[in-house]
Amino acid sequence: MLSSVMAALHWPSHSRKKMSLKSERRGIHVDQSELLCKKGCGYYGNPAWQGFCSKCWREEYQKARQKQIQEDWELAERLQREEEEAFASSQSSQGAQSLTFSKFEEKKTNEKTRKVTTVKKFFSASSRVGSKKAEIQEAKAPSPSINRQTSIETDRVSKEFIEFLKTFHKTGQEIYKQTKMFLETMHYKRDLSIEEQSECTQDFYQSVAEKMQTRGKVPPEKVEKIMDQIEKYIMTRLYKYVFCPETTDDEKKDLAIQKRIRALHWVTPQMLCVPVNEEIPEVSDMVVKAITDIIEMDSKRVPRDKLACITRCSKHIFNAIKITKNEPASADDFLPTLIYIVLKGNPPRLQSNIQYITRFCNPSRLMTGEDGYYFTNLCCAVAFIEKLDAQSLNLSQEDFDRYMSGQTSPRKQEPESWSPDACLGVKQMYKNLDLLSQLNERQERIMSEAKKLEKDLIDWTDGIAKEVQDIVEKYPLEIKPATQPLAAIDSENVENDKLPPPLQPQVYAG
């Protein structure tokens, strides 16, 4: 719930009036005044902000969040305390539910009366435990993770974790206790080398899984689910301290591989024998998606989520190969394509991510599953890029050196076929240039044809004039004087009497 609210908060304030109007109108007719902020500040409210305007909501939200954090701890503490009463935890879940529910209720009544609600009333009515008490408890608890900077994600994850464990009753409490203990020990081990911290985490994974199977009698598929949740919970917390730690040279390696990939910008798919034809729009779409996924890996905190990014990337690669080749991709196709994707994407902090996953991922996932296979391939791709030389691209040493030093690029040598990995804009530009030059050519042709036409026309008129002249000369026009007077028609018909009798003009006397 919190995260969706967060997203809504980013809505630019100048457009809030418009948005609320729009969303309200979709439903039944609402009175204009109901659209206003519940706090009565004069701005429009929004259902996404529980009827407040964005500014008022931000104030409300800050307080609500504090409250929730406290409630979370309340919940966690209670879980720990009530070890014997396994089912008593349902009480606290009611508490959590009542919080959201009463909020809802409150909103409803607010809408009815359209009263200006104060911040305090809005939230304190719903909470069981006074905020003072929670504050005291928070201050008392010596747990190191409380001192953490409370980020929204961490809060959400711990809440989910607690909720998840509730479904396992006693085993869930046991797990929660162990996880807390582990996090505390990890806090004191922060100064140790990263390898030792990794070892601790791996031991923890194994012991928890074993305990669940032997003591808790949890079925294997559930163990896996719980392990995933545990990993998510602890790694969200530890991430800050164990990802790319200062004690290692991870960062140096990151920069080295980044520089290396940049230096290899000239590598074409042909050199790697990548069985992917990016001319096909669907394929280039898949390639873009694969690159996005591999870049996204860096933004995840949990090793498993990072692995999921690699897996998604791999699936897109397989799709691209399948569309191009129309047969299932083997490793012979997959690895070169993955290398190509890594070269094109240049994912941020690649080495750190790989190291982090290796050190802190639940080993059972890394060793056996599909994710593990793709991860291994990514490791291979990175190893290949690091060691890549002229031979591995089927180039001569001289060519390789020249490309590496940036003296020439393979693209410039054959401008006729620019590589498809040039960016889309450049490609389009080349296409347009091509079209323009074609157009120019045609224009010229039209001009010359037009000139020819003009000349032809002139020639033709000249020719005609000449011909006419010739004819005129040949047959000069002579106007002869009329030999027979036109009046002859009207003259007396001389041969009337020769006509047959019916046509003989009657002659009237007189």
Which residues form the interface with another protein (CB under 8 A)?
Answer: 202-203, 206, 220-221, 223-224, 273, 315, 318-319, 321-322, 327-336, 363-365, 367-370, 373-374, 376, 379-380, 383-384, 387, 391-392
What are 57-63's contacts with CB under 8 Å, separation 24+? 57/9, 58/9, 59/119, 60/119, 60/122, 60/123, 61/5, 61/9, 63/119, 63/123
What distance separates the 2 farthest-apart alpha carbons in the chain? 159
Closer of 134 and 186 to another protein (Cβ): 186
Closer of 175 and 321 to another protein (Cβ): 321
Closer of 56 and 186 to another protein (Cβ): 186
DSSP character for 388? Answer: -
Closer of 59 and 203 to another protein (Cβ): 203
DSSP character for 391? Answer: G
- Minimum gap (Å) between residue 316 Cβ and another protein: 10
Closer of 332 and 490 to another protein (Cβ): 332
Q: Are 392 and 384 within 8 A, CB to CB?
A: yes
For residue 353, how far is the Cα from the chain centroid? Answer: 20
Q: Which 3 state secondary structure label does DSSP give 265? A: coil
Residue with tokens 């106007």: 479
- Minimum gap (Å) between residue 155 Cβ and another protein: 31
Closer of 368 and 496 to another protein (Cβ): 368
Closer of 319 and 346 to another protein (Cβ): 319
Q: Are 505 and 496 within 8 A, CB to CB?
A: yes
Closer of 334 and 403 to another protein (Cβ): 334
- Minimum gap (Å) between residue 164 Cβ and another protein: 18
- Minimum gap (Å) between residue 327 Cβ and another protein: 7
Query: Concatenated DSSP letters for 28-86?
Result: S---GGGGB-TT-SSSB-BGGGTTB-HHHHHHHHHHHHHHHHHHHHHHHHHHHH-SS-G
CA–CA distance, 347 with 278 (Å, rounded to integer): 20
What are 283-286's contacts with CB under 8 Å, separation 24+? 283/320, 283/323, 283/324, 284/420, 286/316, 286/317, 286/319, 286/320, 286/323
Tokens describing residue 452:
């020819």
Q: Are 342 and 288 within 8 A, CB to CB?
A: no
- Minimum gap (Å) between residue 417 Cβ and another protein: 24
Closer of 210 and 454 to another protein (Cβ): 210
- Minimum gap (Å) between residue 58 Cβ and another protein: 45
- Minimum gap (Å) between residue 446 Cβ and another protein: 52
- Minimum gap (Å) between residue 387 Cβ and another protein: 7
Query: CA of 109: how far to CAs of 14, 112, 117, 282, in Å?
Result: 28, 5, 10, 53
CA–CA distance, 440 with 444 (Å, rounded to integer): 6
- Minimum gap (Å) between residue 368 Cβ and another protein: 4
Closer of 206 and 284 to another protein (Cβ): 206
CA–CA distance, 101 with 95 (Å, rounded to integer): 10
Contacts of 174 (CB under 8 A, 6+ apart): 211, 216
CA torsion angle for 483, 487, 488, 490 (degrees, to 10)? Answer: 170
Query: CA of 162: how far to CAs of 78, 137, 155, 218, 332, in Å?
Result: 11, 18, 11, 18, 45
- Minimum gap (Å) between residue 364 Cβ and another protein: 6
CA–CA distance, 389 with 400 (Å, rounded to integer): 8
- Minimum gap (Å) between residue 177 Cβ and another protein: 22
Closer of 326 and 506 to another protein (Cβ): 326
- 46 bridge partner residues: 52
Closer of 158 and 362 to another protein (Cβ): 362
